[in-house]
Structure 1
Amino acid sequence: MKQLVLSIPLFIKKPKVTRRQKFLEEMEQVVPWVDWTNRIAPHYPVAGLGRKPFALEAMLRIHMMQQWFGYSDPAMEEALHDVPMLREFAGLDAGEDVMPDETTILKFRHLLERHHLAQSLFAETTGRLAQQGLLLRQGTIVDATLIAAAPSTKNRQRKRDGEMSSTKKGNNYYFGLKAHIGVDADSGLVHSLEITTAKVADGNMIDALVHGEEAIVLGDRAYTRNDRNLEAQRQPEEPVWGMPFKRKRGEELPAEHVVLNRMLASLRAKVEHPFRIVKRQFGYTKVRYRGLFKNAQQLYLLFALANLYHVRKVWMPTTG
């Protein structure tokens, strides 16, 4: 009998499941593709006398991969030709299908921006999470993060983005925008989002981040005011303002205030999880476009996807 050698297919090693492949398999199950395509479909072009448009779900999947992996429009076109895993996720076959070019990918993004669809998808996602009992709305944690913009003037206009601004944090100055979020105190899911220029104070945005049904609102020192702390007088319908106590100049905080501040800090920790997903998992640390509107639309979509990623372990068995 002929001796088997390692070149025979019987001994071909099964390829390793990479982190990117595992991530795509998880997001395949948790993203509500049918609901999202139905939301976009009334605005998507239909086949006519010209070139037949690409399938809506394929373009949506390509746009999602841009958010997850940070591809620009030209880089996304190249990746569809180079990476079989991404083509498979988009439902495209290199042997049979024509790949969308960078202009087609750009036009799809402009379609979402023109009709404010990213904001609509964010609202639909939070509503669906509430229906599933994953967003309880009994408490809200508020916080903001800075997203850097290019400070250079070496561009066509010879100036910085006029809708961005500088702010000081600690001893450092930052140029860009702020993403203000309201997070469910129980689950850590984002239920409200506001985008402003960087110089807007965090405390000025708190009314836009609460939904009015909370029993308690938590925030860091940037949100503390005389009428917003644990000792402040409040109306019966008002929530408890769980803001930390501030030390007066030349005085030390009482011991009980120090203990309360530490307790509040541990409760506020959940608000950092969505920022970690957007900045570390999705790699979004710098704005991609000029102006607040385009970047705000991208952030609405990123935080909707961050919510889905946050609950993927819970949701996958029920949506598989």
Structure 2
Amino acid sequence: MSRRRIGQEALILTPDQRGRRSSLNDLAGLIDWAPVESRLEGIHAAARGEPAWPPLALFKAMLIAVWYDLSDVKLAEALDDRASFRRFCGFSAQEPTPERTAFVRLRRELVRQGLDQVLFAAVTAQLRAKAVSVKTGTLIDATIIASASHADGEAAWAGHQRRKAIHGFKAHVSADAETALVEALAVTPGNVHDGRAGGAALPENPGEVYADSAYRGEVFGAALRARGGTPRIVATGMWGRPGDDTLRKLRRWNYAIQRVRCRIEKIFGTWKRSYGLRRMRWRGLAKACLQVHLTAIAYNLKRTANILGRAAA
């Protein structure tokens, strides 16, 4: 299996470009990419007979597509044009860059080999070691993401009593309560109940788990106990005698949980507002999982860079 060699020429920068530092420079040096590259070693993302593009360069380009909300066509154009994108992916100034079909083939291989979860774990393990010192707790929630098409048979309608029903998938996400780094996730059709799928999105040793009332069921409770977690779940009612201060106790309990749990909503807001996750780009559950995992990797990289930047200031 032949592969192209990239980055052999020096990247030529103008005086103006030398004085400008891109945020991608910091992200490129944030982790050791060698473990990620080793997990991509079995991928040959090339048309038959062509030398393959290095899969790590393509994977980095797909992270750029998430950060800048680019389609495959726009990504190929931007990679050919922007020096900061070339540096991040490892391309030199004068050599050619991949066409959009290379990204299509890479996605197909990532899905076929089930590497989205593997890559997420490889990147997140390094980031957690840099940003998380003491585990204080876990946030967990789910968000609906509209399908690429109503013809997608693996998506499902998700109803809501106060909002219009959405045809799509549901991302079940857990994040560290202190740093808001995503630690684990699962993707299901949109009609799967949060509490039934939430156990698959729990990290090991979650500590105190902050969640809304959808997670009060026994299925999630059993999964939480199996990992040694402590539930901090919004209550819908509380026993008390007439004249007791029961309602005040209920409000106090829920307020203490909600003020922590609400941090996960900022993650979903960033994904949908800035990273293009308002709608799935591709059909099928496997590709939906890939898109959510890529978004989580891109988010964790940026989030860690921000945390370390504030610590160094």
Q: Taking structure 1 as the reference length, what is the TM-score of the superposition? A: 0.77
**Worse-matched range after superposition: 173-182 or 54-63:** 54-63
Q: Is the Cα contact below 8 Å between 2:137 and 2:207 reproduced in 1?
A: yes
Q: Relative to 1, partners in 2 of residues 1:237 and 1:204: Cα closer, same or farther, differing over 3 Å? A: closer
Other-structure match for 2:210: 218
Q: Relative to 1, partners in 2 of residues 1:26 and 1:284: Cα closer, same or farther, differing over 3 Å? A: farther
Other-structure match for 1:199: 191
Q: Is the Cα contact below 8 Å between 1:81 and 1:94 reproduced in 2?
A: no
Other-structure match for 1:24: 24
Q: Is the Cα contact below 8 Å between 2:127 and 2:304 reproduced in 1?
A: no
Other-structure match for 2:3: none
> Is residue 155 of structure 2 the alignment partner of residue 164 of structure 1?
yes
Q: Distance in 1 between matches of 2:219 and 2:146?
A: 32
Other-structure match for 2:305: 312
Other-structure match for 1:156: none
State the shift of 1:16 in Å.
12
> Partner letter of residue 35 of structure 2?
D
Give the percent of matched residue pairs that are identical in Structure 1 and Structure 2: 26
Moved over 6 A (4+): 15-18, 226-229, 234-237
State the shift of 1:239 in Å.
3.8
Q: Relative to 1, partners in 2 of residues 1:316 and 1:35: Cα closer, same or farther, differing over 3 Å? A: farther
Q: Distance in 1 between matches of 2:157 and 2:247?
A: 35
In angstroms, what is the RMSD of aligned CA positions? 3.6
Q: Relative to 1, partners in 2 of residues 1:261 and 1:109: Cα closer, same or farther, differing over 3 Å? A: same
> Partner letter of residue 79 of structure 2?
L
Q: Distance in 1 between matches of 2:45 and 2:191?
A: 43
Q: Distance in 1 between matches of 2:201 and 2:37?
A: 28
State the shift of 1:267 in Å.
1.2
**Superimposed CA distance per residue, residues 247-292 of structure 1 (whole angstroms, 9 cap, x where no aligned partner):** 59xx996111112211111011222233233223322211011111
Q: Is the Cα contact below 8 Å between 1:183 and 1:189 reproduced in 2?
A: yes
Q: Distance in 1 between matches of 2:135 and 2:167?
A: 33
| 1:165-184 paired onto structure 2 within 5 Å | 165-169=156-160, 170-184=162-176
Q: Relative to 1, partners in 2 of residues 1:22 and 1:273: Cα closer, same or farther, differing over 3 Å? A: farther
| 1:26-45 paired onto structure 2 within 5 Å | 26-41=26-41, 43-45=42-44
Q: Is the Cα contact below 8 Å between 1:136 and 1:184 reproduced in 2?
A: no
| 1:197-276 paired onto structure 2 within 5 Å | 197-211=189-203, 213-225=205-217, 239-247=229-237, 254-276=247-269
Show structure 1 runs of 5+ residues with no match.
Answer: 1-11, 153-159
SS at match of 1:172: coil
Other-structure match for 1:8: none
Q: Relative to 1, partners in 2 of residues 1:316 and 1:54: Cα closer, same or farther, differing over 3 Å? A: farther
Q: Distance in 1 between matches of 2:72 and 2:227?
A: 49
User: Residue 296 of structure 2: which of 297, 300, 303 is its match?
Assistant: 303
Other-structure match for 2:74: 75
Show structure 2 runs of 5+ residues with no match.
Answer: 1-13
SS at match of 2:29: helix
Q: Distance in 1 between matches of 2:200 and 2:133?
A: 18
Q: Taking structure 2 as the reference length, what is the TM-score of the superposition? A: 0.78
